[in-house]
Amino acid sequence: MKSKITAILIGAGNRGLATYGTYALKNPNKLKFIAVAEPVHTRREKFSRLHKIKKEFQFKDWRELLEQGKIADVAFICTQDRMHVDPTIKALKMGYDVMLEKPMAHDIQGCIKIANAVKETNRILGVAHVLRYTKFFSIIKKVVQKGLLGTIINMSHRENVSWYHIAHSFVRGNWRREDLSSPLILAKCCHDLDLIYWIMESLPKKISSFGSLMHFKEENAPKGAPKYCVDGCPAKNSCLYYAPRIYIDIEPIIQIMTKSDNRGLRFLGNLRRKNLHLLTIISKFIPLLKSLRYWSDWPVEPLYFGQPEELSGDFSDDTKYNILKRSPYGRCVYKCDNNVVDHQVVNIEFRNQTTATLTVHGFSEREGRTLRIDGTKATLIGEFHDCGQKITLFNHFKGTEKIILYEKLKIDDAGHGGGDFSFMDSFIQSILDKREDEVLTGVRDILESHLMAFAAEKSRKESMVVAMDRFRNDVLLQLK
């Protein structure tokens, strides 16, 4: 019986290279990548080197790769949001099973096309809503299913996007504009809407939403601020978003480390912040510290897009500073061309009369999700942060509280609290067993969370309450 699958990768960005690529390297008995399509030379070269991909199976464009015919079991599609539909449908029709990065598509028609292609081809599609596979949310699901909360009355879920993440990805970065990517509520929160729907176990009945782009606008720029931070900004010592602070001083990474419950991470974070000279000296002898001193991972790695190949391995402070002079990531956050919202709330009423709210905003002190579920017997409060996680259960009758999960951040944690690798284990097993129903995030189930996001945007933009039965039926009529 076959125990390992082969795969091609379309899009070797953060998710393709660092997440699924790393999984393959750590689990060579389960997954082997044999080809890659990636337009950025440094990413394509790095992925090919790590996975020992032959030169003839390295491509700039996904079309060139798929022209080779079906050469593997699975196609991993990790392109930008607006580039999901065509390669997914092409791969399905060629006989590939597909692992598709979320969101499924940037609009309703794209989702419909993919869903119909899955039906026509009878292939397996897994969408990377990986949070269902985390220990944290799996425990919450079991608590609800066991009836420990009684009848669920309300759920309040927050997607707390950190101040540096919103600036990096949704103001300066690839997800800053709806016409180039997708709305924030879909790009960032299809995870969260999926979790709410999954935990509540009822179809949404009505949805309303409010939100706007409030802060990251030119009217809020410091007086005299230039277009690029390093061009003599008078507020460089006080601006939270001063580009060298984020990409050279790596303040986001330091804050993650120093807020951790892990003493070792706190020590290293404080060393990087308070004694850079000492770190520079000892990093010459300790590789781990060298990577901390000359940081090259997120959020630094995207700085090097489009840069000369000779700079690809140079992560010195001077090189980063020079890149920031004209990089999109070096722009003043108040003078970018962004148009996605920086805060939004979604209100949901379900068929079983329960209610839920989703709040997303980009001004959190740390990255993570928090939630509260109130039932007739108990209240559950969860904290799912980048520096650790905790679930507490409060019993109404006894007046007691019990911590049912508490875990510190570990250096070797897989992404999304372990959800990335758990999802991969499940997806690979579904391919080996040829059972689509083993995938928690199959196409029809994931379609509902996407419809919730599209309905929320319709409500926000048109100032209306969306009746989900009618909204959903209009889509279902187009499915084969």
Q: What is the pLDDT of residues 291-313, one digit of tens each?
A: 999 999 999 988 888 788 778 78
Is 440 a residue whose pLDDT tops 60?
no
Dist CA 68 CA 219 (whole Å): 52
User: Over 70: is that where the pLDDT of 437 sits?
Assistant: no
Q: Taking the CB of residue 232, how many other CB atoms lie within 10 A of it?
A: 10
pLDDT at residue 445, as a whole number:
78
Residue 408 pLDDT: 76
Query: Between 386 and 40, whose confidence is greater?
Result: 40
158 with 113, same domain? no
Q: Note whether 207 and 231 are same-domain residues.
A: no
pLDDT tier at 41, thresholds 50, 70, 90: confident
Helix (H) or strand (E) segment spanning residue 9: strand 5-10
Q: Can you name the residues that pair with 126 across neighbouring β-strands? A: 99
347 shares its domain with 466:
yes
Which structural domain range is residue 275 located in?
Answer: 225-330
Per-residue pLDDT at 387 exceeds 80: no
- Contact (CB, 8 A) for 245 and 258: no
Confidence of residue 436 (pLDDT cuts 50, 70, 90): low
Q: Tell me: pLDDT of 1 over 70.
A: no
Q: How many Cβ atoms sit within 10 Å of the Cβ of residue 76? A: 30
In this structure, are 58 and 108 located in the same domain?
yes
Taking the CB of residue 309, how many other CB atoms lie within 10 A of it?
10
d(CA 235, CA 221): 10
With a cut of 70, say whether residue 415 has pLDDT above it.
no
Do 398 and 303 have their domain in common? no
What CATH number is given to the structural domain containing 165? 3.30.360.10
pLDDT at 154 over 70: yes
Last residue of a domain, one of 330, 347, 372: 330
Beta strands in 335-399, from DSSP E residues, in sequence order: 343-350, 355-364, 368-375, 378-385, 388-395
Residues 38 and 103 in one domain: yes
Neighbours of 453 (CB within 10 A): 27
pLDDT at 332 over 60: yes
CA distance linking residue 300 with residue 297, whole number of Å: 6
Residue 443's SS3 state is helix
pLDDT digits (tens, 9 = 90+) for 112-127: 999 999 999 999 999 9
Which pLDDT score is estimated for 480?
A: 72
Mean pLDDT, to the nearest integer, of 230-237? 96
Confidence of residue 374 (pLDDT cuts 50, 70, 90): very high
Q: What is the average pLDDT across 281-298?
A: 93
Q: Over 90: is that where the pLDDT of 278 sits?
A: yes
pLDDT of residue 362: 97
Q: What is the CATH number of the domain that holds 427?
A: 3.40.50.720
Q: Is the pLDDT of residue 412 over 60?
A: no
Q: What is the C-alpha end-to-end distance of the chain, expressed in Å?
A: 33
Q: Is 80 exposed, middle or buried (0-12, 13-18, 19+ CB in 10 A)?
A: middle
Same domain as 376, residue 457: yes
Cis peptide before 222 (omega within 30 of 0): no
pLDDT (tens digit per residue) in 121-144: 999 999 988 898 899 999 999 999
pLDDT score, position 375:
98
Sign of the alpha-carbon torsion through 462, 468, 469, 474:
positive
| CA geometry: angle 319, 323, 329, nearest 5 deg | 130
| Cβ atoms 376, 395 nearer than 8 A | no
Residue 418: pLDDT band with limits 50, 70, 90: confident
Question: How confident is the model over 183-230, as pLDDT tens digits?
Answer: 999 999 998 999 999 999 999 999 999 999 999 999 999 999 999 999
Residues 6+ apart with CB under 8 A from 221: 332, 334, 335
> In Å, how far from its chain's centre is CA 120?
29
Looking at the fold, whether 63 and 166 belong to one and the same domain comes out as no
Interhelix angle 163-170/251-258, nearest 10 degrees:
150
Same domain flag for 45 and 90: yes
Mean pLDDT score of the chain? 92
State residue 384's pLDDT score.
93
Distance CA 56, CA 475 (A): 42
Q: For position 435, what pLDDT does the model report?
A: 63
Instruction: Please check whether residue 460 is in contact with residue 344, taking contact to mean a CB–CB distance below 8 angstroms.
Output: yes
User: Can you read off the two tokens belonging to residue 205?
Assistant: 């009945």
* Cβ-based neighbours of 175, under 8 Å, separated by 6 or more: 81, 169, 181, 182, 184, 187, 188, 340
Structural domains of the chain, count: 3
Best mean pLDDT range from 22-31, 148-157, 278-287, 469-478: 148-157
Residue 414, pLDDT above cutoff 70:
no
Q: List the one residue out of 32, 39, 34 whose CA is nearest residue 12.
A: 39
Q: Are 400 and 431 in the same domain?
A: no
Alpha-carbon distance 172 to 337, whole Å?
8
pLDDT band at 409 (very low <50, low <70, confident <90, very high): low
CB 251 within 8 A of CB 366: no
Segment 349-359, tens digit of pLDDT: 999 999 999 99
The 10s digit of each residue's pLDDT in 64-80 is 999 999 999 999 999 99
The model's pTM? 0.91
Q: Is the pLDDT of residue 54 over 60?
A: yes
| 52 plus 23 within the same structural domain | yes
Q: Do 359 and 241 reside in the same domain of the chain? A: no
